[in-house]
Structure formats: C-alpha cells, structure tokens
Structure 1
C-alpha cells in the first residue's frame, strides 16, 4: 500500500502526494475515521489505496509529531510568522500573541518582516526603520531568526529560501501583510490571489480559503493558511503562558515560589530580570495583558 502526504483538503476530498512522485491523488477518507472521531489533516503522512478510476481512499493515518487546531494542519515544524512593516504597521502585540501559540504548539518560529520596499524615504520612513531595527534586535536576542524581505524587490528572499528548505512550514499572519505575494515570489509560476489593502480600514481581505501544502524548489513545503484576525487563550493555562515566553522560561526555575505568575511574587527571577533591563518592557507588558485576557476568558466560560 503506497504512502503519501496530504497536501490539500477541500470539499471532503484529500489530495495525497505519493512519496514516489507524480500528481496528487484525489482521495476520500474511510468511514472508520469518523466513527473514531478522527479526521485526516493536511500534513498527515498516510497510507492510501488507488481505485480504477484514478481516485483513491485514505486507509490509515500515520503517527503525528505535531497537530494544530487553528489552522488545522499536522506535522508542521516551522511557523513562519509574517508581519509587514507598513500598511499594516508592525504590530508587536500581535506578534507576541502568535509566538505564544507557536511555543505552546512546540514549534520553532521564523519571523519575516515584509514590504521593506514600501518604507518611504522621509522622516516617517526613518522612524519606521528604527522600529524595525529595534524589533529585529529584540527578537534576535531572544533566539528567533528575523528576516527582512521585499517580495517585489527580492530583498531577503534567498535567505528565506534557505531557512524554509526541508521543513513543513506554516505560513501565518494577519490579513494584508503580503503572505500570498511572498509565496508567489518563493514559487515561480504560482499565482495565489492577492488583495490590495483597504485605504479606509488599513487592512486586507482574506485571500486564502483553505490550507494547502505548496512544494518548494529547495525541498519541503509551505502551508499557505487562511489569515488570522483573532487568537485567544482559552486552551492555555497561566503556567503555560509564562513558559511560552522564552526569556521567562529560562529564568522561571530560579523563582522563589513554584508556580510563580511573574506579576507580584517576591524574589521572582523574571521581575528581577525586567528591572535590570534583561527582559524588554514591551514583552513583559504584553505578557501581563495576555494573563488578564486569559483570566477574563476563564471567567466567561
């Protein structure tokens, strides 16, 4: 029985790329999956059978090493978090929110700042460049790779291709940051739908409607996923939020109290590090906001 990779799921069909090559096979899933409460996902390694009409059936889902609920994708190992530097402006609060969910999913993250060519050559542009450089320095110091790109000018694209090679990469970011333009630049000949930013609202329309794995020339796949507008912390706990900040996690073991929330406890290593300038004010402020949001979410439910 051949083994393959589900590269697309659409309208009840699973498109399975045979590990031997060729075109993806359009498959249905076995009814037993529904009875078990299981569902094949894009990114699943599966065993499948082929029928006489050229279609097939997904017979077995092989063990997963990761699974995300939103977007629904299995076995992704690198989250490519895409944020534009202009229209919409770089949003570090949302970036930290994405990083919390990425860390919780035990995935590594690559930060890609897009639209570098759109920065104006004036005083406003100089201010934007300072913000971008400060953000790159901050997140690089925490341990994340940050790549500055322009899909239209080709800036940073070779470096990005090298970083993506050999991974199942999950592309994520809010609407209008240029995800589709980035994929179009990475995969010559591919034309994903793109939308201009609404001048009135300052944000784009969703252009991607389903999860699909796009093969990359350097090896690996890119999962172009529907844009996110909101992320919540309903599935997380207080301890988990703290552990999703890398610089907090490194210091938490030396806090005086077990289960320290890093907000008010005496002899808290995280608070001490913040006071000494070793943890950024923005990251800590976002953490406190996320804790508040988690408590409000828990109270509602």
Structure 2
C-alpha cells in the first residue's frame, strides 16, 4: 500500500491492469506495511481509556523509529476539562512536539487537523478504542467505517480495522488507516534510543557535545546533556534495561 507503480494492459471496463514497474520509495514502513508515508499521527485518548504517560511515550518512540514527522493527536477532548486538556497539550509540547486535540463534535478542531494533513501520506497509529475509525468517519463521512466500543473491563477497544487502506483526504493528501495494537514495539538498539527523544535530539543538533561518542547520556564523565526534562527518568529506565 502506498507504492507508485507503472501499469500496462489496462482494461478500463473491468478495472484491471498488470503492474509493469515500481517507482522508487522515499520511505517504507514494515509494521504497518506502507510505502511513501510522510508522517505518523499517534492517536491517543484523553479518557475512556485514560491517557497514560508511559503508554503515550512508547507509541511516540515507536513512531520516531520511522524517521517521519510525528504528530501526537489527543482524542475525546470533550471528556476532560479545558484545564486538563491545556495541561496535556503544554506537557507534550514541552517534549518537542506540536500536538493537536479533537472531539467528534468539534468541527473547527477537525478542520485544523485536516489542514495539518493536507500534503502527502499520513498514517494513523495508536491503541484500539481511541477513536481512529471515528476520526476517519468525521474526516470522510462517506466511508462509514465500522467502530466498536471500549471494553469496560480492560479499557481497551476492540479491533475494527483489519488491513491497511489509503483514503483520499484532498487533492494531494492521503490518510492510511491501520490495525490497532495495544503494545507497540520499542527499539532494540540502546545506542539508537536517544535519537528517538526530541528532548535529546534537539540538544545534540544545537551543538551539545559529550566526551565519548558512545555516550548513553546517563552519568558518564563529560556528558553535557541537560537532564532536567520531564521524560528523562523514562529514558534512563529504558536505556538501563
């Protein structure tokens, strides 16, 4: 899904053709299997199920492994107070992201999201039950995708998306829906983990230098990384294990 191909032997009446050529890809994801994606939209719910800091960070790290633009999107904004919503937006913004929030009844928020996704291929990811299919229905009402309620016992949604599919969002924009999953995979190489945190990546780009090239940014001598940011404890736990 997402590949640009050259066709031959086109049968316009039956809507069939043979693939004759595969164009070069500028990106290729393995899970989900998707070519030429430009950004990953990490959808998490503010309530039902409640937003978990570690769970959100794990999904963001998983999205960062793609090397694409990462957009955190907070759903079900109408189920929390405005104060709580603002605190989450500011909190995630301090990590180095530009998050958005929405509720299905907030048309201006849906339009702001549409504007952010107006070019290229965007892929939705996040736990089941956070409202990805409902969001697609709001962006593209003609789809009428099947949705399911969140399990009251487990606070997890039932899987309603079974395959990867692209939907046209505008003249030059496509949106990919993917099967939901509850435990995203984390990077396996410890030396690469630091670059998945914008808090570290931005410092390194700004010229922070450490004494050793393989510095893990823990308590190594000569480490110049500033470590007072909120998720440093989370990073330290991951890198230590």
Q: Given the two structures, how large is their TM-score scaled by the length of structure 2?
A: 0.90
**1:69 CA displacement:** 0.8
**1:51 CA displacement:** 4.5
Alignment of 1:1-301 (within 5 A): 42-52=1-11, 53-119=14-80, 125=81, 129-130=83-84, 132-154=85-107, 156-217=109-170, 219-233=172-186, 236-252=188-204, 253-270=208-225, 273-274=226-227, 277=228, 279-280=229-230, 283-292=231-240, 295=241
**1:230 CA displacement:** 1.9
Residues 173-216 of structure 1, C-alpha deviation per residue, up to 9 Å, x if partnerless? 10100001111001122211100111111111010000000001
Q: 1:166 to 1:250 in 2, by over 3 A?
A: closer
3-state SS, counterpart of residue 134 of structure 1: helix
Misfit runs of 4+, over 4 Å: none
3-state SS, counterpart of residue 95 of structure 1: helix
Asked if structure 2 preserves the Cα contact closer than 8 Å seen for 1:161 and 1:218, the reply is no
**1:79 CA displacement:** 0.7
Greater radius of gyration (CA): 1
Asked if structure 1 preserves the Cα contact closer than 8 Å seen for 2:42 and 2:63, the reply is no
* Unaligned ranges ≥5, structure 1: 1-41, 120-124, 296-301
**1:155 CA displacement:** 5.1
Higher relative contact order (CA 8 A, sep 6+): 2
**1:285 CA displacement:** 2.2
Aligned residues: 236
Residues 230-256 of structure 1, C-alpha deviation per residue, up to 9 Å, x if partnerless? 2223x5411210011112123344122
d(CA) in 2 for partners of 1:290, 1:49: 50
Asked if structure 2 preserves the Cα contact closer than 8 Å seen for 1:251 and 1:269, the reply is no
* Unaligned ranges ≥5, structure 2: none
3-state SS, counterpart of residue 209 of structure 2: coil
